[in-house]
Amino acid sequence: MFLAVDTNINIHAAPEAVWDYACKPENWTASNPTEHFGLRFDSPDNLPHSGVTFTQSESVAGIHARLNGRFHYMDRPHLAFWTGTAAYRVLGGLLTVRLPEGGVLSMVEGKDGVQVSHNVHIDFPQSVWGRICQWYFETHLNGRQAVYDHTFRELQYFKEHLESAPS
């Protein structure tokens, strides 16, 4: 059972500028300060590259998670594809629910800037437990909207900071 959420925004900046700004851990963390608590890339320069693993501490729909992932493919400044497993701590940490997640970050240049999209997914298990988790996430936590809001906040932050920066 699959929950996919697509977000996008137009940013009046070159794709390279968006890419270089967004890939820095401190900027990604700052893009959603109430829900991002740290990001680390397992590379010498602490930046994403194809094959690089990463760890992000975050909160989605009010649930704290530790996301361990890997970038499988990158084509700077156009496309990045990642997958990982998020360990959500519920009931005050008494229970940990691990869910496969992933995303595609893409940038398409146009005459008015760049269309930035971050399409993310959560893959709930095909089991009774998975159905319960997905039902609770979507019904009681308004999870689909929470994921959209979480991701859109990131893109909005990049737009505001890049468009207000001096050329």
Determine what percent of the chain is predicted with pLDDT higher than 90: 90
Domain boundaries, the chain: 2-164
pLDDT (tens digit per residue) in 12-21? 999 999 999 9
The rounded mean pLDDT for the chain is 94
Q: Is the dihedral of CA 24, 29, 31, 36 positive or negative?
A: positive
Mean pLDDT on 142-149: 96
117 forms bridges with which residues in the sheet? Answer: 8, 106
Mean pLDDT on 96-101: 95
Return the pLDDT at 151: 96
Mean pLDDT on 123-142: 94
Closest CA to 104 of 17, 1, 12, 4: 4
Return the pLDDT at 111: 86
What is the pTM (predicted TM-score) of this model?
0.92
Is the pLDDT assigned to residue 49 strictly greater than 90? yes
Residues 101, 39: Cα–Cα separation, whole Å: 16
Q: Which fold has domain 2-164?
A: Alpha-D-Glucose-1,6-Bisphosphate; Chain A, domain 4 (3.30.530)
Is the pLDDT assigned to residue 167 strictly greater than 70? no
Mean pLDDT on 119-126: 96
Radius of gyration in angstroms for the set of CA atoms belonging to the chain, rounded to a whole number: 16
In the structure, what pLDDT confidence band is assigned to residue 139 with cuts at 50, 70 and 90? Answer: very high
